[in-house]
Structure 1
């Protein structure tokens, strides 16, 4: 179970605290078990600071606490504070990464559902799509829908998300896919052949919707599997 430690303290020396956190990160490289650390400053009280540190589990957090470098840094942190920091230990019982969810819905409804109109619900009005396989590398929402629907109708693709990583407003997806060439596509008559492949896509989210995407798929491999090009 993911574990989070919240450290609450007061200081008027935040720049020094930040430098101290950087020195801790350098000193514990290869040994620390923390996976994510964040420092926030209270907008209404600039001397009130909160650090949030995430670990894979409570047990991993305890390993981190027992590092000699962690104890040394904590003592130096206390010296920069106006009092002893307080700690809150939290077992994470719910963790929703909302940008990941909208991307997963795009995979389910748009690609696997074969429904280009799903982009109207999932994307911003000024959505931009970047894909070297399209007629233009920079397509707007209407053009992206039109070209996608033509592809869906011709190939009936099905995609499996192999991994998904979210950082800030960006979600990176690694996927595998398969399908069958059942309809005409850009002058190529249906071959009836099955195909499979892998790809990556990076999405930029904005206000709970997808605002931009960058696609990379093995289009050469697709053409080879359809017998259009030699391997």
Structure 2
């Protein structure tokens, strides 16, 4: 049986490689994406397409995966060179060629060993700032103490 953590990591595997079998393997048939309000895995395909057409040399860095009570959360950063603006929130922006780092936390409800629901907290404002020449999250000073 696949662990809840492994299911969240399979989501990142799908973003990285686009292996369609992951959608059937890891996602429930009635999967609900609360970000878009859509049911099914089609929105996952749409988002992956937006990523491919918006960023070249895309990489992912998983920072943490936590689980409990049928919920799994995965925090990761993605980084790539801006080559297009397929995401609706960035529509109309000319490609900058800049390296962009986007941080996000994705939350999934797990049911019967599959990802059944999805929410996301993304730093879209940080991405917009970088598109306009601002610093990437890793370039900013961090508070310590």
Question: What TM-score do you get using the length of structure 1 for normalisation?
Answer: 0.49
Equivalent of residue 152 in structure 1, options 52, 60, 77: 52
Q: After the TM superposition, which parts of structure 1 deviate over 4 Å for at least 4 consecutive aligned residues?
A: none
| Partner Cα separation in structure 2 for residue 143 and residue 165 of structure 1 | 24
Q: What's 2:141 paired with?
A: none
| Partner Cα separation in structure 2 for residue 149 and residue 120 of structure 1 | 18
Counting only pairs closer than 5 Å after superposition, residues 72-83 of structure 1 correspond to structure 2 as none
Deviation at 1:160, TM superposition (A): 1.4
Residue 95 of structure 2 is aligned to residue 190 of structure 1: yes
| Partner Cα separation in structure 1 for residue 24 and residue 100 of structure 2 | 29
When the two chains are superposed, the root-mean-square deviation of aligned CA atoms in Å is: 2.4
Higher relative contact order (CA 8 A, sep 6+): 2
Equivalent of residue 170 in structure 1, options 43, 68, 71: 71
Instruction: Mark the runs of 5 or more structure 1 residues left unpaired by the alignment.
Output: 1-95, 132-136
Q: What's 1:102 paired with?
A: 7
Bigger Rg over Cα: 1
| Partner Cα separation in structure 1 for residue 116 and residue 30 of structure 2 | 7
Whether contact under 8 Å (1:203, 1:212) holds in the other structure is yes
Whether contact under 8 Å (1:199, 1:218) holds in the other structure is yes
Matched residue SS, 2:101:
strand
Matched residue SS, 1:101:
helix
Residue 32 of structure 2 is aligned to residue 128 of structure 1: yes
Deviation at 1:121, TM superposition (A): 3.2
Equivalent of residue 202 in structure 1, options 82, 88, 107: 107
| Partner Cα separation in structure 2 for residue 128 and residue 143 of structure 1 | 10
Q: Decide which structure has greater strand share.
A: 2
Whether contact under 8 Å (2:81, 2:100) holds in the other structure is yes
Question: What TM-score do you get using the length of structure 2 for normalisation?
Answer: 0.74
